[in-house]
Amino acid sequence: MNRLVTIGEASKALGISISTLRRWQEKGKILPVLTKGGHRRYDLAKLMPHEFHHTEANERTTLAYARVSSHDQKADLERQKQVLELYCAQNGWTFQMVSDLGSGMNYHKKGLRHLLNAILAGKVGRLVITHKDRLLRFGAELVFAICEAKNVEVVILNKGEDASFEEDLAKDLLEIITVFSARLYGSRSRKNQKILDACKKAVEENR
């Protein structure tokens, strides 16, 4: 078999991201073929995914990360874990599950801190999440930039809108309002409580 394919087709055949394929190329694990027109192509007959995955797995681990905002979403957290476990198992990846129960606005969650420390320590080769905003409501791009700098492959299973997006966003907004109104009026003041009650009512009416 001698079939030359594009970098996108090669990454799909190997089940890896294009950035990972380019990294392997830089390390000399894969050598592209130059066409007469000067385009880079990859010979599928010379691609050895099992050897590459074995090398990557021995060096660094795969982290699967799941998060929900509150205790009443525990069922959703378990669903996320099941989806991540199934995906990693189907790809033959040995992985570690990390999860958080807390707001997407909270940058100090235990699981997130563990994830970032492991990435910065060079112990992670792949990060798997169900949706982009499972990491953080704002700032996920910074985590992705750190992953790129540390040569960590990021796998996002669903790049569409998260089914729980609106509910999570409402909870995050309530958290912001709670903090600022408490600072303005005091956490135990009547005015603060009225503002919070009105916001909670508005959220409930729009669900």
pLDDT of residue 55: 45
Q: What pLDDT score was predicted for residue 17?
A: 76
pLDDT of the residue at 71: 79
Q: Which stretches does DSSP call E strand in the chain?
A: 4-5, 33-34, 40-43, 61-68, 95-101, 124-129, 153-156
Domain boundaries, the chain: 4-54, 60-156, 165-205
Which residues belong to the active site?
A: 69
Note the pLDDT of residue 97: 94
Residue 54's pLDDT is 45
Nearest to 87 by CA among 177, 156, 189, 10: 156
CATH superfamily ID and name for 60-156: Resolvase, N-terminal catalytic domain (3.40.50.1390)
CB-neighbour burial class of residue 72 (10 A; exposed 0-12, middle 13-18, buried 19+): exposed
What's the average pLDDT block by block, 10 residues per block, for the chain (207 residues)? 75 74 78 82 66 52 90 85 91 90 78 92 92 80 90 84 54 57 60 63 56
Given this model, what pLDDT does residue 85 score? 92
Please give the class, per CATH, of domain 4-54.
mainly alpha
The pLDDT value given to residue 52? 47
